[in-house]
């Protein structure tokens, strides 16, 4: 609710799809993959928590599904 969108990024809370096929956190958390991996099985993601306004960065298993943000040069 305190968002200003000054960065120009209007992230939507798409949640995630986990390896077993279940979806989680749709409507409450947004997570976007980074192109940087931390190992052969893990990569960085950035996250936004819509209930707390929190922002985080962590690594997670690449077999799971998060949103992807496409940028144009």
2-61 pLDDT per residue, tens: 667 787 777 889 999 999 899 999 999 999 999 999 999 999 999 999 888 888 999 999
Confidence at residue 53, expressed as pLDDT on a 0 to 100 scale? 82
pLDDT the model gives residue 30:
93
Question: In the Cβ-directed half-sphere of 31, how many Cα atoms lie within 13 Å?
Answer: 23
CA dihedral 60, 47, 10, 53 (to 10 degrees): 170
pTM of the model: 0.81
pLDDT at residue 70 in the model:
83
**pLDDT for 69:** 86
Amino acid 1: pLDDT: 57
């Amino acid at each position: 609710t305190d968002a200003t969108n000054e960065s120009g990024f209007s992230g939507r809370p798409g949640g995630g799809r986990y390896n077993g096929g279940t979806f989680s956190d749709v409507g409450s958390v947004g997570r976007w993959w980074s192109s940087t991996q931390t190992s052969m099985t893990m990569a960085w993601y950035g996250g936004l928590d819509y209930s707390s306004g929190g922002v985080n960065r962590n690594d997670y298993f690449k077999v799971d599904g998060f949103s992807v943000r496409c940028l144009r040069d």
